[in-house]
Structure 1
Amino acid sequence: MKINILTLFPDMFEGPLTDSIIGKAAEKEIVKIETTNFRDFSDSKHKTVDDYPFGGGAGMLLKAQPIVDAITHIAQENPETKKRVILMDPAGKKYNQNLAEELAQEEHLVFICGHYEGYDERIKAHITDEISIGDFILTGGELSAMVIIDSVVRLLPEVLGNTLSNQTDSFSTGLLEHPQYTRPREFRGQEVPEVLLSGNHAKIAEWQDKESLRKTWIRRPDMLDKLDLTQKQKEWIQEFEVGN
């Protein structure tokens, strides 16, 4: 996968995208990530990238010209690949695991990180997606782009050591992930559930499914409305309700 990031602050990406799992993926050439300061594409004498909005209003808007020319430059450098050009925008589609899995299938992603009060609307003709990571405002699009890149890259083949890791993640199955334990068996009066020590894989799988459902029922009951529950899962929920 190729990822381009258009930003006024490329140094912000040095740590998060060069360390840990993402850094290792880049070392293995599973993903190639490049940052571009779109100020370099400004055609003004002083390399300005913002201006006052027509009609008045608070703050400054990012101009269309530097961003559009940066996108065009990337397209000309890589004409052979289809691109998803993603605008980080609080008004965009809310990000979730399904969208992460969709983006992980792409060959080339381009992220545009904004600042100030917004963008000149005319850049929208050059993008494919507007995405928000939540109903709140950040000082810029860099942090939200990092979140999306991290969630996408970890889904790429061979990035995670265990191929089952991303398949059993919370949200990937439609439920939150079940509780997990490691050594020691007893920690300050708290024991590992006996079933996990039994070696009976069928019973362990059933316990994991039930506890995943219980966790979702307690913490995110809204997620259950989107699922076609099995008869067994419906019985478990009745059991939870009785014991609550």
Structure 2
Amino acid sequence: MRIDVLTLFPEMFEGVFSSSILGKACDKGIVALNTVNFRDYSNNKHNTVDDYPYGGGGGMVLKPEPIFAAVESLPLHQEEGQDPVKPRVILMCPQGETFTQKKAEELSNEQHLVFICGHYEGYDERIRQYLVTDELSIGDYVLTGGELPAMVVIDSVVRLLPGVLGNEMSAVTDSFSTGLLEYPHYTRPAKFRDWEVPEMLLSGHHENVKRWRRKESLFRTLERRPDLLEGRELSKEEKAWVVEWKGRKQEE
């Protein structure tokens, strides 16, 4: 996969792209991460990339020319013997679709992603209309720019690529990947102070452990994110677990 990030602050990505999972993915050749300062594509002598909005109002608006020029300058991703692939061009924006694990899984199947990180009051609307394919938001709040949201999305997508994580099952069992929150984890020692690891996890019975994890995953979701269960078709066993959980809550 190739990922290009259009930003006025490419230095913000240096540590993120060279460290931890992203850095290892680059070293393995699984992903190529690249930043582009779209100020370099300004068409005026002052290298400005923003201007006052037509109709008045506060703030400045990013101009279309440097954004379009920067995206159109990018080399298209091309596998040997195949036609060039047009990238998904993603605008990081508070007005965009809320980013989810499902969206991360969708984007992880692409070969070329381009992220546009804005600043100031907003974007010239023609960028939205004629250039981008997706608008994404990481939550209902506003940041000073699109760099941090882009980092979040990129990390979430890259970790799903084959060969990036040491254990391929890690991504499969993540919270939200199954539609539920992930079950509790424990490691050594089996007893820490007066707190012991659940006996089931020490039993060595893989099927029972699997069932315990499914049950705890459902309980955790009921406790913390019941909205995730809306419209979900529960099995007979899961319905019984819901009744058990409600009984416990009444006793508390």
Q: Is the TM value for this pair above 0.5? A: yes
- 1:8 to 2:8 alignment: yes
Match of 1:108 among 112, 125, 146: 112
Does structure 1 conserve the Cα–Cα contact (< 8 Å) formed by 2:22 and 2:158? yes
- The reply on whether 1:57 has 2:61 as its aligned counterpart is no
Matching residue of 1:34: 34
**Cα distance change on mapping 1:35 and 1:121 into 2, 3 Å:** same
Correspondences of 1:167-178 after superposition (within 5 Å): 167-178=172-183
Q: CA deviation at 1:77?
A: 8.1
State the distance in 2 between where 1:180 and 1:17 align.
Answer: 28
Distance 1:51 1:77 in 2: 32
Distance 1:103 1:207 in 2: 32
CA-to-aligned-CA distance 1:135-167 (integer Å, 9 cap, x gap)? 000000000000000000000000000010000
Unaligned runs of 5+ in 1: none
Match of 1:222 in 2: 227
What TM-score do the two structures reach when normalised by structure 2?
0.95
Evaluate the alpha carbon distance shift between residue 42 and residue 109 of structure 1 in structure 2; reply closer, same or farther with a 3 A threshold. Answer: same
How many residue pairs get aligned? The number is: 244
Q: Distance in 2 between matches of 1:85 and 1:221?
A: 33
TM-score, scaled relative to structure 1: 0.98
CA distance in 2, matches of 1:92, 1:148: 13
The secondary structure found in structure 1 opposite 2:36 is: strand
Alignment root-mean-square deviation, CA: 1.1
Rounded to whole Å, the distance in 1 between the matches of 2:161 and 2:231 is 26
Distance 2:25 2:111 in 1: 15
Partner of 2:84: 80
User: Does structure 1 retain, via aligned residues, the 8 Å contact 2:76–2:85?
Assistant: no
- Could you say what secondary structure the match of 1:229 adopts? coil
Tell me which residue corresponds to 1:184.
Answer: 189
Paired AA for residue 134 in structure 2: D
**Cross-structure match for 2:202:** 197
Aligned partner of residue 210 in structure 1, secondary structure: helix
| 4+ aligned runs moved over 4 Å, structure 1 | 75-79
Are the structure 2 counterparts of residues 77 and 168 from structure 1 closer, same or farther at C-alpha, using a change threshold of 3 Å? closer
